[in-house]
Amino acid sequence: MKFKLLGLLAILTSLLTACGGGGAYARVIVAGSTSVQPYSEILAEEFVFLNPEITIDVQGGGSSSGIRAASTGTSDIGMSSRALNEDEMDYWVVEIARDGLAIVVNPQNPIHELSFEQLQHVFTGEITNWGEVGGNDARIHLIAREEGSGTRGAFEELVMADGQFITPRAIVQSSNGSVRQLVSSDPNSIGFLSLGLVDDTVRALDLDGVAATAENVISGTYNLFRPFLYISREAPEGATAKFIDFILSPYGKAILAEEGLIP
């Protein structure tokens, strides 16, 4: 990893601390959103490289599970890819990045753009055929995340109007990776996932003529984005605080930006 070249001096210092008796072994458990999970794993790998006396254990489970784990102390850090509810406001929270929400189709699909209203009608089940939005005469196969998922929560909050719900006919998946895999294998499918996880196996649709890019999220022209949060029962201390400080440092932000997020 190219970031390791930037951290040679830091790792030498960490090794001297760990081997000199001044640094005790520590383990930090990070659990929750499967959207935040892959980025946390990348950050943890680099952090542990620089701080070998600390182990970072990153686990999934979904945003709601991560918030519960943080609240009960089962994990040191809970990961959430949705804003906190009113009854979740008592925790210590930091936003580590923002992530765009991409609407993805199979690359073979001739559709490149939907209007916001069309997108709503597709996921409520009012539009069921691609021909109704200018595509092929084929049934639309909806792929959605499970209830409690931060990605689904963000989609419902940002896309669906009051009283609208994702149709129960949608195929439900438990991770963004599964959504991407299904869409990549089905020319008539459509799903939503983290913008940072879009690759050449799927294509992100433009919405009302605006492309789903980090630049457009920053400018505010593409308004489908959600926060990536780290949550703790109390203000972090020790190894947990050190890991979070690393993420919020210019070095950590550079890693997040390189991975497609907006620090």
Range of the domain at 156: 100-225
Residue 137, in any domain of the structure = yes
Q: How far apart are CA 93 and CA 54, in angstroms?
A: 22
Instruction: Name the burial class of residue 24, with classes exposed (0-12), middle (13-18) and buried (19+) by CB atoms within 10 angstroms of its CB.
Output: exposed
> Residue 30 is part of a domain; what is its CATH number?
3.40.190.10
Beta-carbon contacts of 122 under 8 Å, excluding residues fewer than 6 positions away, are: 114, 133, 140, 142, 190
Q: How far apart are CA 236 and CA 68, in angstroms?
A: 16
Question: What pLDDT, on the 0 to 100 scale, is given for residue 75?
Answer: 97
Considering the domain architecture, whether residues 180 and 170 belong to the same structural domain is answered as yes
Question: What pLDDT, on the 0 to 100 scale, is given for residue 219?
Answer: 85
Number of domains in the chain: 2
Q: For tokens 């991407």, what's the residue? A: 180
Residue 136, in any domain of the structure = yes
Percent residues over pLDDT 70 in the chain: 91
Considering the domain architecture, whether residues 49 and 70 belong to the same structural domain is answered as yes
Residue 263, in any domain of the structure = no
Across all residues in the chain, what is the average pLDDT? 89
Considering the domain architecture, whether residues 157 and 191 belong to the same structural domain is answered as yes
Q: Name residue 100's amino acid.
A: G
DSSP code for 133: G
Considering the domain architecture, whether residues 210 and 232 belong to the same structural domain is answered as no
pLDDT at 17 over 50: no
Question: What pLDDT, on the 0 to 100 scale, is given for residue 164?
Answer: 93
Considering the domain architecture, whether residues 142 and 245 belong to the same structural domain is answered as no
Residue 248, in any domain of the structure = yes
Considering the domain architecture, whether residues 28 and 52 belong to the same structural domain is answered as yes
Considering the domain architecture, whether residues 159 and 54 belong to the same structural domain is answered as no
Closest CA to 165 of 189, 133, 142: 142
Cα angle: 185, vertex 160, 231; to 5 degrees:
85
Residue 110, in any domain of the structure = yes
What average pLDDT does this structure show over 107-115? 97
Per-residue confidence band for 22, with pLDDT thresholds at 50, 70 and 90: very low
Q: How far apart are CA 263 and CA 41, in angstroms?
A: 16
Considering the domain architecture, whether residues 50 and 150 belong to the same structural domain is answered as no
pLDDT at 2 over 60: no
Q: For tokens 């690359």, what's the residue? A: 107
Considering the domain architecture, whether residues 191 and 242 belong to the same structural domain is answered as no
Distances (CA, A) of 56 to 46, 166, 239, 248: 10, 36, 9, 16
Considering the domain architecture, whether residues 154 and 61 belong to the same structural domain is answered as no
Summarised one tens digit per residue, pLDDT across range 181-228 is 999 999 999 999 989 889 999 999 999 999 999 889 888 899 898 889
Render the burial of 25-63: b for 16+ CB within 10 Å, e for the rest. ebebbbbbbbbbbbbbebbbebbbebbbbbebebbbbbb
Q: How far apart are CA 59 and CA 189, in angstroms?
A: 29
| β partners of residue 228 | 97
pLDDT at 21 over 80: no
pTM attached to this predicted model? 0.68
> Which of 22 and 43 is assigned the larger pLDDT?
43
Residue 148, in any domain of the structure = yes
User: Residue 30: what are its φ and ψ, rounded to 5°?
Assistant: -120, 125
Render the burial of 230-246: b for 16+ CB within 10 Å, e for the rest. bbbbeebeebbeebbeb
Residue 64, in any domain of the structure = yes
Q: Name residue 85's amino acid.
A: N
